[in-house]
Each structure stands twice: as structure tokens, then as C-alpha cells.
Structure 1
Amino acid sequence: MNKSFAFVILLILGMGLLSSQEYFPDNTQVKSQNNNYTAIVNAKIYVSPSKVVENGTLLIKKGKVMQVGKSVKIPANTVKIDVAGKWIYPSFIDVFSEFGVAKPEKSKEGGRSAEYEPSRQGYYWNDHIMPEFGAVNSFVYDESTAKNLREVGFGVVNTHRHDGIARGTGVLVALNGKEGDAERILDDRSAQYFSFKKSIAHRQAYPTSLMGSMALLRQMYYDADWYAQGNSETKDRSLEALNSNKSLVQIFEAGDKGNVLRADGIGDKFGIQYIVLGGGDEYERVADIKAANTILVLPLNFPDAYDVSNPYTTKYVSLADMRNWNQAPANPKVMAQNGIPFSLTLHGLKSTVDFKDKIKRAIAYGLSKEKALEALTVVPAQILGKSESLGTLEAGRYANFLISSGDIFEDGTLLYENWVQGQKHVVNDINQKDLRGDYDLSIGTDSFQLSITGEVLQPKAEVKKDTLKLNTKLEYKNDWLVMSLVNNQNGATYRLSGAITEDTKNLEGKAIASNGSETTFRAVRTKAFKAKEKDEPVVPEMVPVTFPNIAYGNTSLPKQQTMLFKNATVWTSEDAGILEHTDVLVKNGKIEKIGKDVKAGGAKVIDATGKHLSAGIIDEHSHIAALAVNEAGQNSSAEVKMEDVVDYEDKGIYHALAGGVTSLQLLHGSANPIGGQSAIMKLKWGESPEEMIYSNTPKFIKFALGENVKQSNWGSYSRFPQTRMGVEQVFVNYFQRAKEYMEVKAKGESVRYDEEMETLAEIIKGERFISCHSYVQSEINMMMKVAEKFGFRVNTFTHILEGYKVADKMKEHGVGGGTFSDWWAYKFEVNDAIPYNAAIMHDQGVTVAINSDDAEMIRRLNQEAAKTIKYGGMTELEAWKMVTINPAKLLHLDERTGSIKEGKDADLVLWSHNPLSIYAKAEKTIIDGAVYFDLETDKKMREAVKKERAKLINQMLLEKQGGKKTQQPALKKKELMHCDTGSLNDHHE
């Protein structure tokens, strides 16, 4: 057989067009093909979730449905199976499985020994991009696992290797234990898969963060497009596979509500409609997810209640985790109510046996049975583009169906059989008789009362003689009853056995007494079994979702108000200085008017007598509200974006608002000389990250100098640079590359679009500003010289604790300083820091801001500013400018915010005292004219949080008392991030 012919044959097999290997010679026997029909008759048939046939017939042949309905003409060569009283459903489909495809072995390298170069030749430059991998090539059918899946109703799974960022293609498999792979593999390239998680098998360091994964995916798509246009001189099997797989279904493992939207954003950018695996918390951002038009795959791994019987360990459980237990089972219902299409998956469950309880819980929380069935049959078939062959029992579809005793989603329903491709797989014996009931039992001349209860498949017996209860054991299997009786008073025993006939009203058979004598037994039914009516599932009262859905979240998002502050001491942060007994009118999110006796109109009047009104504090250097701070996998990460990883649920936002902070720059960390792009945001507590980011935001990026970037503090010797000389060379090399990149583009030559080079080019062109982590004067001088060499200026030196040594040169260069008020000696390179630093730089004409770099300090930046009065003799007004208008100037926002001036954004704080005082409290923090923190409201929320916790604790106690599973409380604390947080995290998962 020549190779081309063999390829054609394999292609036909892969397309599933041959049902068996008919072209193989058979030298063992002469056999004919079975062309008989099978008719399942007298069943209630769910042809689809919305189409039900009572007393219907399902006619199948060669693994396919031939006809279904109430009046089906049955051919002569038909095997009839009467299942009167039984229900038939389409078998379930899971689109996100790992059945039969093992993960690779985890790299045995440990510690900090990350690799910075790829390990493969002829593939993409990053080892975590593996679209060339085909799951079919490593697929091994596992009948034991398949049996477990069939027992909970699944007939088809779409499986792939759960490893890497670009994971390659999946394989669609029918769980047919009677045939081989040629029949059960329905599609050997069923979908292309992606995630934000690195491969466990590869040691390449990049990416070490979520933002790095996002940047890598973007660059991958840019590179694939460039490669497809024939621009590459070398072969790249990864990009070839990626482009070849573009026509397949694209499935993305996101894993939580935020990542669902991040994945969708990448898809939108490159014209890709991902099917997205969620995390079960999508109900918290349902409006955003609906607007994204995303099709979801939803897990059913609802959390168990916490064991809150110990009041001390209960303190470990956050209100957010309690709410998640209370609210998560409603996630499928909320998606259905909002018209968001979804399928359901076993992914994330500890065991397949948990599936039935979880789906029932979702139904108890409001998911309709029809929608549940759709999500397990029709929708997954649609997702996979297989609606013509899977998902319903219409003619022409695969004969994949379930036979059950009743409603498949009800307690007590037995799943008897799961037919896959027309092959019957027995789950429970469909002919099992129901023996339950009360009987008069006679054994020879002895008389007893027999009661059989329990489940149909696991009956339990109780035998009494008058008031004496005998020790009884009953076994019932394959239509044979075996029962033993022991009279504990006299030691007499009987052993009974008998075959069960169709008529189970009477039971009879052989009995052997303790003395060995043989007789007969007969049990005459006197009363039919009646199951106890089960109480409706207890669904705890759901607590409302807040924005964000954690403690102190808003029940509704704050709205702009028209407000008039009367008779305040107004700290303008402008040349007007501090104005006594002054009114400020806020309207449409702006400062409308400042003056005496301003008319209220319809405004809400706030008596500010004896109080102080200032512009909101701006933190030029912060790391709160971030899911990651460092992308440490390369010495330059200019392509990553802090905007991609804004954590809008970080309680640090609320704490900062309580300290009067309204805006901040969310900076990348200092793991590498060239860090990532900043996010400049307003702290709109409860809004989405997109709403927090400034509109038309100025473009910033983090650079870094010193100990962190050369990794001197954690003993890494495998990544350049290792010295301060090397740090300078990194800057020179990268800017030279960016300059050459710009020159090639200016000539109109074809150039590979490079997000990293594009960002550095923006710096050279003056379109993006550098905020540079710095400490010692020698490196500060070096950075200014490098910038001047390439024709731009550094915007801000942050930290800059030796700024007082080079303040005159900073003024000449035109760079500002963001510094601490009085931190020093916390590592070697800050040994020369002095608390007079800010005042000395200010006196030299440098624009100086006091910043936090700390989740705790951000709450009291007003007091940090006050320290400059003690250390340097600053005036109150100039000290206050260091946390308002000065950081606004450094961030190029001073025309919009940072001071109280007519026409500016109404970002304001009402203080109880002089804002530089340790006694000052922020009574109201206002952003764009909406109140995002109110001291009186905060007091009420504290009580509300206590009451809600008590309510949820009581609900969880009832769960435990009711015999439900619980989990032990565990302390979870969000890491407070700083510049060096996550400097090298080899495998983020």
C-alpha cells in the first residue's frame, strides 16, 4: 500500500465515515453483517428537551436512530424490547474532559532553576505554546473510567490534554465499550484548546503571571498572522498547526468570572469566538458576561458548606466564601435567566458520582429540568458542531440514549441502561423486581411477619414473630432471594432461598432450619410498599449579590449626585490656597462652582461647617487591586499590562477610600529592568475594572534599577543581568532594538508586529512615560543619561531615596520624584536614605509626590504628607500638594483631577479635621460626583456584615445537622503586594 493511499484511508477513518474497518481482510471466519433493527417500545421518549413522545417507539439500526415516534412501522427483522413505564433520554455530552489523555509528567527540576530559553527546535519560541499536539495521538481508551461516566449518564466526551497555554487539539469519543477506537472516535480534531496556565512539563520561565500569559497569547496570534503571510524564513510547526486549527471550535479554560472576560477580550481582538470554561461564579458579573456574547461551559463543583461548629476556626471563613457556598448553586439558573447559552461539565468534580447530587442542587436552586437537559445534550452538540449526529434522538443521530425508571433528575430514579452507538451498556438490571412490601411469612409450620423496605436495588428486610424481632439479612441479585434469620433468644436459624418470578406478590422457595432439616417457605404480600414522601430539597435563603460580592460591597452602584458643600475649609491645592467658610457645588460629576453663598438649586446640601474639603488623594505608586505584580520570566516585560490584572474585589480599594484616596497608578513590580505597562485608575468600588480605568488614560510603564532587577536577593544566576553594569546594557540594547524596529517600519518594510517593541517605541516617541524604581544616585544618573541618549526624558523616579543627592540634575533633566516620607534602612541600597529627601528635592524645583507602595500605608497618606512639615519645614499647603496635585502632575492628570478647581472632576474628600492631622477621618470620599465611601454608611455596613455572617453560619450548621458534606475552615489571606512580590514564580496555576 503506498503512502498516499494509506493517508486517504486514515483521513476517512478520522472523519468517522466508516463505521467499521470493512476494508480489512478477514482470514479467520466467514461472517455476514447484522442488518437487524432494534425497537425500544412503550417508553416515554425525550427526543429532545422540548419534544417528548408518550408510549413511543425508538427504532435503531447500525448504531443510528432510524425513526422515533408514537406510530413507528416496525420492520420484520426487528428485535423488540418492551420497556413499558420506562423513560428514554439522549445520553449526556461533556465538552471539557480529560478522559483517556494523560497529563505529561511534571518537570523534576525544582527551586529557582527556571529556564529562560525554549527547549525545542523548529517550534514556537515559547514552550508553553503547543498547538501542534494532537490528543488523538496519545489517547488510550479506559473502560473503567468510561463505565463510571456511563453510570451517571454520559455517552460522549470531548477530551484533550489539560496542559499548557496553547494545548493543541482534542478528540471526540463515544463511550462505547463494545467496539474499538475506529468506531468510537467520532472526531480526531474536535476542537483547539487554550488556557492561561503554563505547561507543567516545561521549565521555560516566561510567563510567570496571568498578564504574561495574556501578552503571550496576543503575541502568538500576531506571529501566526505574520507567519501565514509567508514572512518567516524558518519553519515553525507550532504556528503552522495554530493556523491549520483556526477552523476548529476554539475552547478556552478560563476558570473564573474575571478570566472569562479576559479570554473573551483576547478573542474579540483577534476575531475569535471562544467557548469558555467558567468557574461557577459568573453570576457575580452576569451583565458583563451577557454583553460579551460568550458561550460558557459551566462546572458543577459547588462548594460544600463549611463546618462552622467551632467558633474559633469559623473566623477563618470570609463572608465572600460563605456567600459563594450560598449563591453558587444558582449560577446555572442565573445564566439561563439572562439568556446566556451554556453546557454543563463534570470538570472540577472530585468524583463522577457527585454529578447527580450537584445537578439536582442546581435544579433545586431554580434551573429548569429542560434547561438542565439542554445543557447536557443539545448545547454541547451545538458547541461541537455535531448537532446532526449528537444531542437528540432525531432520525440519523447516533443511538446514544439512557433508559431510566423515571425522571432522570429526580431522587429515586434508577438509570438502567446507557446505549452508546446502539450498543447496550447495563448500569442496573432493568428486570430487577420490586420486592418491597409487607408479607405474612410461613416457614414450615412457623409464622412470621416480613417487611421489605429500602431501595429497589438494595432492599432491607425486617422479620418479627409477634413482638420478637429476628436478626435478618437479605440478599437479592439476579432474581434470586437469599435471606437468613436468627432468633437471638433460642439460637434457632433459618436459611431461605428462592427464585423470583414475574409475580412478586408471593415469595416462595426452600428453607433450611438450624438442625439441618429442609422445608419450604411462603410469603404472601399483605400490603404494598409506599415510600415516604420526601421533603422538598431545603434551599437556604439566598443572600443578595453585592458589587463587589464581598463584605462591604455595594447593594447598588453609586450614582452621581448634585451636592453642595456649605461653609467648608477648602484645600484647593491651587494658587488660591486654603479657603475658609467656602461653598463647593458638584454637578454632573464635575466641580461646578466655588465661592461664598453658592445657591443650592436642587442639590443635596451638606453642612461642612468645621470640616475640611480637599481633592482626593492620589497615590502615584501602588500595588493594591492587582492579581499579579511582576512578570519575571524575561528581563524585559514591556508587553504586559497591569490593566489586564486589575483586582476590582481587593478590599484594599475600600480601605484606601476610607483613607481619602480616589486615584492611583497600579504599577508593575521591580523584578526586571523593563517592567510592564501601568494601570491608572479611579477607585470606584464595585465597578468593573474597565470602569475604573481612566478614560483616555496617560500611558505609563515601570522601569527598575537596583538589587531587585539583578536578582541579588534570591540567588538566581541564570538570567541576565546580574550586575548594575548589565542593567544599563539591557536598557541600551532594548532601546537600540526599538529604534531599529521603528526605522524598518518607517521604510514601509514588512515587519513582525512586536508588542514589546511597540511599547518601547512609544517611549522614544514621547507617547509613554517611565516611572522608574530607583534608590542610589549612580544608577539614577545612569538612567537619565540613557534616556537622553535616545532622545526622551524619564518621567518619574519612584522610591528615589537618594534623590536629595541628585536633585539639581533631576531638575535639569525634567524628572519628578515619587518617594516615601521616612522609610530607610530596610535593605542595603537604602542605607543612605534620609527623611528630608522630599523637602530637599522640592526646594530644588522637582515635582515631588509622597506615595505608598504599600497596602497599609495607602490608608494614611494624609499623615505621610504631614511628615514633610516636620522633616524639611514644608508649609501645610505644599505638604498637601504632595498627595494631590503633585502626583496628578506626575501622572499627566492635573488638568482633570488633583485639585479643587471649577471644571475638574469632582474627586473630593470631606475630612472631620485638618487632613494633615492624625485625628482626621475621611467622612465622605467622592469620585466623579458619586459617593464611594461614607463613614455613617460604613457603620451600618459593619452591623449588616455581622448579621449576614450569623445568618449564613446558621444555614451551614443546618446543612451539617442534615447530614450534608462539609469542609473544614482554612485561613485564606490575600498577599499584600510590593515591588518584589512574585519576582519568580515558575509555574503559576
Structure 2
Amino acid sequence: MKFRALLALVASGSLVAGCAATAAETNSASASTSAKPSKPEKTAFPSTYKAYPSTPTAITGVTIFDGEGGRIDNGTVFMSGGKIDSVGGPDTAIPADATILDGAGKYVTPGIIDVHSHLGDYPTPSVSAHSDGNEATSPVTPQVWAEHSVWPQDPGFSRAMANGGITALQILPGSANLFGGRSVTLKNMPSRTVQGMKFPGAPYGMKMACGENPKRVYGSRSRLPSTRMGNLALNRQTWIDAQEYRKKRNSAKPPKRDLGKETLAGVLDGDILVHNHCYRADELAQIIDMSKEFGYKVTAFHHAVESYKIADILAKEGICSAVWADWWGFKMEAYDAIPENAALLQKAGACVIIHSDDENQIQRLNQEAAKAQADGRAMGIEISDAQAIQWITLNPAKAMGIDRMTGSLKTGKMADVVLWNGDPLSVYARPEKVWIDGALMFDSGDPTRRPVSDFELGQPGEGDVK
């Protein structure tokens, strides 16, 4: 289904991907407390997301990874009303009116979640006119919001669903700046607008960066910061200014509205979650100290190739590490990256997430998790398949503050579900079907259930190219 057709069908009251009737509004749930947001940030750009129609569906005889570290063989997953109704063994009750799918030899997981994506902000075709992910005009730009650059027609969204089972993702600004701006969490659903993709009830995030990127970008312009000590000095001064703004905000004479300081005050209030691009272990520790100085919490360190060196500290602080399986050596601060990073973090009891940061790798996070799992096993760290699946489902949901709503196959959560044609940790596995809020959005056997952008350039099996 092409995007222009989507526009016409939505405008006429119909829907894409073989769905009929008008979509029903999903129930907004409170944000997760795992990352400690007190409430979702109120915004002038509210979510208008609407779930597609769903029908009661049961998948039987399937191997289930529930996203919380559990496994059920010969299991049953039943979805109804857009929610997970029940998960259990072969004796799980199924209403007579449910559609039943035989899952023998197949696997079910929660929808895959990417905590670090730039889809829509750096869309395909990758031309300079589409490069909207980095406001590299100042090292401090908390006033910008990633959602204001998201192009909903990016073909990367539909490829991520079809090839990677992605049902939710966080879009972050780039990493040129110390303070890059607000991130946005999206449901991976076709929509005419980014507001129609915004995950209802998800808190905002704020992207920060440390290390080489900010000092290289701005040092090359002969301005602060040009060193790592310059990074920390400007970081700290920005937080001092934010604290003063926050104090005056509730006074008898509140200050003039400042979009950047509003975001920073939201972090200090606990409403906006901090996602910090950072590589070296010594810098991770310094950022933790800075967060304590100013009274905020780092939700997750992204890339974090040296997390293994301070795994015990990260476990104690409750900070997730969103890492690659094996990216290494592409710049100096990545030279101490090791493929056992994720496994060593898991062994220490720290939160592990496998992320993409790439429009292609987002299509195979299941394989990346399997690589990290295998590297751990090779050094004697036993990691179950169910634990490895948690790295790409519940753990990213926790870091994004949406784990009460999605991320695992738990009764009452959103029915964001992937049926795989084989073991999802196998290089041969592909999503066979993908449900979002119980609506069947992708079916490898049904061309009418494959949302495709107008800018899809003829990926095999998609688009109009023959």
C-alpha cells in the first residue's frame, strides 16, 4: 500500500493494509516508573495516534519468548481488544470467535523495540535535503525536538517492520552537540503526520553527548568546547543556568519562556529522560557524577563501548547500556570496544540493550542480539535465548519509560507481537506476521498487509517494481 493511497484512504475514512472502518483511539496509559519519570511531558504537539482495527487472535503450538526472560514451549498467545489477553500453555482458553493461527515450528516474541534510531530525521533517499537530525550550530541546543524533523514517508519505517519486527522506536537527535534536543518515541505505524505515530503516554527523552563528537565539531571552529574538560565545563554551566530558570519558573515573577531551559527543567523535574551518547568508561563515570551534582538521572548510556569496565557501577546506579554487538575501531574512543561487552554487563546484573543507530541494522536487531549472546557464551557466560530477547524488547521499553504498556507479552499490555518463521536468534529467521495493538500490520504472505512508502525503491517483494 503506497503512501499517497494511505492519504486518500485515511481522508475518506478507510484505512491501509487491508484494514476496514475507522480506527479506534487507544487508551493512554501512565508512563513507566522504571526510568523514574513522574508524568509524560505536556506538549503543544500531542499524539494523535489511533490504533488500527483488530480481531481476537490466538497463536497456538508456538515457542514463546515473553520478553521478561521467560520461555514457553508449545504455548498459546491470545490477543483481544488490542491487548494481550492471555499467555500460557496448550490448555489456555480460547474463545470460539477467535481467529486461530497454528504456530507449530514457529516463535513469538514481543514487538522489537529500538532505543536508538534516526529514521525520519535521516531518511532514505539519503540526500543533503533530508539531513535533519543534527542542529550543529551550537553545542547546546536542548530547544530542538527530533519529532519536528521526522518525515513519516521514510521507507526505513516499513523496512524495519517487515525485516526486523520493529513495533516501536525512539528517534534521537544526532550527537554533534552536548545537548542535542528532545527525542520522541514512535509507534511504527503508517501515518500522514508524526503526531499520528507518537507513542501515546510515552515520556520525552533528551539526547546528550560526550567525548569526541562535540569537541571535534566545535573545536574545529575554534570555539568551546575543544577538549573534554571544555565539554564538562559547558555541560555544568548549562545545568547551573537550568537550575536558576527552574527556580524562577515558580516564583512570583517567572522568567521569559525559554524552549531550551524548559526541556532542561523537565529533566530536573524527572519528566524527561536522559539518553547520553558516551563511549569511554572514565567519561561514563564523570557523567554519573555530574548527574548527581545537578539532581537528574541518566536513563541510558548509548553506544557505551566501554561499559564492561564499570559494569558494577552501572548495575548499582540502575543505568542501562544501549550497545552494539561488535562495532569497533572506527574512532579512537571506540578502540577498547569488545564483542563481549553486553555479556559482561549481563553477568554483572546491569541493564543491557542492543540498539541500531543505523537504518539497516534496525532490520536485524534479533541477529545482533544473537551475536552478542554468542560472544558471551564463547567466554563462558551462559545467556539464555529468552534473556537475549529481553535485550531488544523489555529492556529498551524500560529505558524509554514505556514498559508498563509494551515490551513483554503480559496480560493487559499492548498487543505488539511478532510471529517469526523460525528461531528469532537464527540468521535465517524473518518476521512472518507483525501485530501492533492487536492489528495485523504486516503479513509476509499477504501483499495487502505490507505498508510501503512512495519512496521505496523496489526492495524484493515490496512496491510496484516487477
TM-score normalized by the length of structure 2:
0.82
**Deviation at residue 845 of structure 1 after TM alignment:** 1.8
1:83-118 superposed Cα distances (whole Å, 9 cap, x missing partner): xxxxxxxxxxxxxxxxxxxxxxxxxxxxxxxxxxxx
Check if 1:608 corresponds to 2:113.
Answer: no
Alpha-carbon separation, structure 1, partners of 2:66 and 2:242: 42
Residue in structure 2 matched with residue 878 of structure 1 by the alignment: 387
Work out which of the residue numbers 188, 194, 197 in structure 2 matches 1:683: 188
1:599 CA drift (Å)? 1.9
Query: What is the CA–CA distance in structure 2 between the aligned matches of 1:716 and 1:600, rounded to whole Å?
Result: 65
Residue 200 (structure 2) pairs with residue 706 (structure 1): no
Of the candidates 868, 872, 888, which is equivalent to residue 397 of structure 2?
888
Residue identity over aligned pairs, in percent, reads 35
Deviations 1:196-231 (A, max 9, x none): xxxxxxxxxxxxxxxxxxxxxxxxxxxxxxxxxxxx
Would the aligned equivalents of 1:564 and 1:600 in 2 still touch at CA under 8 Å?
no
Any conservation in 2 of the 1:685–1:932 contact (CA below 8 Å)?
A: no
Distance in 2 (CA, whole Å) between partners of 1:623 and 1:565 is: 33
- Note if contact 2:19-2:53 (Cα within 8 Å) is conserved in structure 1: no
Letter in 1 for 2:194: P
Matches within 5 A, 1:126-145: none
Amino acid in structure 2 at the alignment position of 1:728: L
Question: Is the aligned partner of 1:565 residue 2:51?
Answer: no
Rounded Cα–Cα distance in structure 2 between residues aligned with 1:853 and 1:720:
27
Mapped to 2, the partners of 1:947 and 1:639 lie a distance apart of 38
Deviations 1:2-35 (A, max 9, x none): xxxxxxxxxxxxxxxxxxxxxxxxxxxxxxxxxx
Q: How many Å apart are 1:612 and its aligned residue? A: 0.6
Structure 1 residues 947 and 929, CA gap change in structure 2 (3 angstroms)? closer
Structure 1 residues 662 and 776, CA gap change in structure 2 (3 angstroms): same
For residues 441-520 of structure 1, what are the structure 2 equivalents within 5 Å? none
1:376-397 deviations in Å (ceiling 9; x for gaps):
xxxxxxxxxxxxxxxxxxxxxx
- 1:217 maps to which residue? none
Inter-CA distance 946–693: structure 2 relative to 1 (3 Å threshold): closer
**Cα gap change, 1:754/1:831 in structure 2, threshold over 3 Å: closer, same or farther?**
same
Query: Hey, what's the Cα distance between the residues in 2 that align with 1:944 and 1:708?
Result: 37
Conservation of the 8 A alpha-carbon contact between 1:847 and 1:890: no
Query: Which among 655, 661, 665 is matched to residue 170 of structure 2?
Result: 665
> What is the aligned-residue RMSD (CA, Å)?
2.7
Q: Secondary structure at the match of 2:336?
A: coil
Counterpart amino acid of 2:210?
A: L
Does residue 1:717 correspond to 2:216, yes or no? no
Partner of 2:445: helix, strand, or coil?
helix
Q: How much does 1:805 deviate?
A: 1.1
Pick from 810, 813, 828: which aligns with 2:332? Answer: 828
Q: Distance in 2 between matches of 1:667 and 1:554?
A: 31
Structure 1 residues 688, 587: CA separation in 2 closer, same or farther (over 3 Å shift)? farther
Deviation at 1:624, TM superposition (A): 1.3
| Equivalent of 2:120 in 625, 650, 655 | 625
The separation in 1 between residues aligned to 2:185 and 2:141, in whole angstroms, is 18
Q: C-alpha separation between the residues in 2 aligned to 1:826 and 1:947? A: 35
1:685, distance to aligned residue in structure 2 (A): 2.8
Q: What is the match of residue 446 of structure 2?
A: 937
Q: Which amino acid in structure 2 is aligned with residue 923 of structure 1?
A: E
Q: Which amino acid aligns with 2:112?
A: I
Q: Does residue 807 of the first structure (1) align with residue 311 of the second (2)?
A: yes
Contact 1:924 1:935 in 2 (8 A): yes
Q: Establish whether residue 911 from structure 1 lines up as the match of residue 420 from structure 2.
A: yes
What amino acid is the match of 1:806? Answer: I
Instruction: Give how far 1:560 is off.
Output: 1.7
In structure 2, relative to structure 1, the CA distance for the partners of 1:743 and 1:798 (3 Å cut) is same
Show the counterpart of 1:856.
360
Aligned to 2:68: 574
Measure, in 2, the Cα distance between the counterparts of 1:881 and 1:946: 30
Moved over 3 A (4+): 281-288, 553-558, 938-950
Secondary structure of residue in 1 paired with 2:212: coil
**Distance in 2 separating the partners of 1:900 and 1:740:** 44
Which amino acid in 1 is paired with 2:416?
Answer: D
Q: Deviations over 1:913-957 (max 9, x none)?
A: 11111111110011101112111124997899899558xxxxxxx
**1:287 Cα deviation from its structure 2 partner:** 8.7
Asked if 2 retains the 8 angstrom alpha-carbon contact of 1:773 and 1:800, the reply is yes
CA–CA distance in structure 2, aligned partners of residues 568 and 710 of structure 1:
51
Higher fraction of strand: 1
Q: Given the superposition, is the C-alpha separation of residues 943 and 845 from structure 1 closer, same or farther in structure 2, using an over 3 Å criterion?
A: closer
Q: Which amino acid aligns with 1:828?
A: M
Cα shift readout 1:606-658 (whole Å, capped 9, x = no counterpart): 11111111101111111112252111112111111112222211111111112
1:591 maps onto 2:100 in alignment: no
User: 1:674 pairs with 149, 163, 179, which one?
Assistant: 179
Give yes or no for contact 1:635–1:719 (8 Å, CA) kept in 2. Answer: no
SS at structure 1 position matched to 2:240 = helix
Question: Mean alpha-carbon deviation: is it higher for 755-764 or for 592-601?
Answer: 592-601
Size of the aligned set, in residue pairs, is 409
Give the structure 2 partner of residue 450 of structure 1: none
Do the aligned partners of residues 589 and 687 (structure 1) sit closer, same or farther apart at CA in structure 2, a change above 3 Å counting? farther
Higher Cα Rg: structure 1 or 2? 1
Structure possessing the higher relative contact order (Cα contacts under 8 Å, 6 or more residues apart)? 2
Counterpart amino acid of residue 76 in structure 2: D
1:868 aligns with 2:372: yes
2:217 pairs with 1:735: no
> Hey, what's the Cα distance between the residues in 2 that align with 1:745 and 1:624?
35
* Cα shift at 1:571: 0.9
Q: Distance in 2 between matches of 1:573 and 1:946?
A: 30
Give 1:755 shift: 1.1
**Can you give the 5+ residue segments of structure 2 that lack an aligned partner in the other structure?**
24-51, 122-129, 378-382, 451-457
TM-score (norm 1): 0.39
- Cα offsets for 1:420-453 (capped at 9, x unmatched): xxxxxxxxxxxxxxxxxxxxxxxxxxxxxxxxxx
Preserved CA contact (<8 Å) 1:793 1:813: no
Provide the C-alpha distance between the structure 2 equivalents of 1:555 and 1:574, rounded to a whole number of angstroms: 31
Who is 1:898 aligned against? Answer: 407
Matched residues in 2 for 1:843 and 1:822: separation? 18
In 2, Cα distance between the equivalents of 1:903 and 1:546?
Answer: 25
3-state SS in 1 of match to 2:291: helix
C-alpha distance 830-944 of structure 1, shift in aligned 2 (>3 A): closer
Alpha-carbon shift at residue 694 of structure 1 (Å)? 0.9
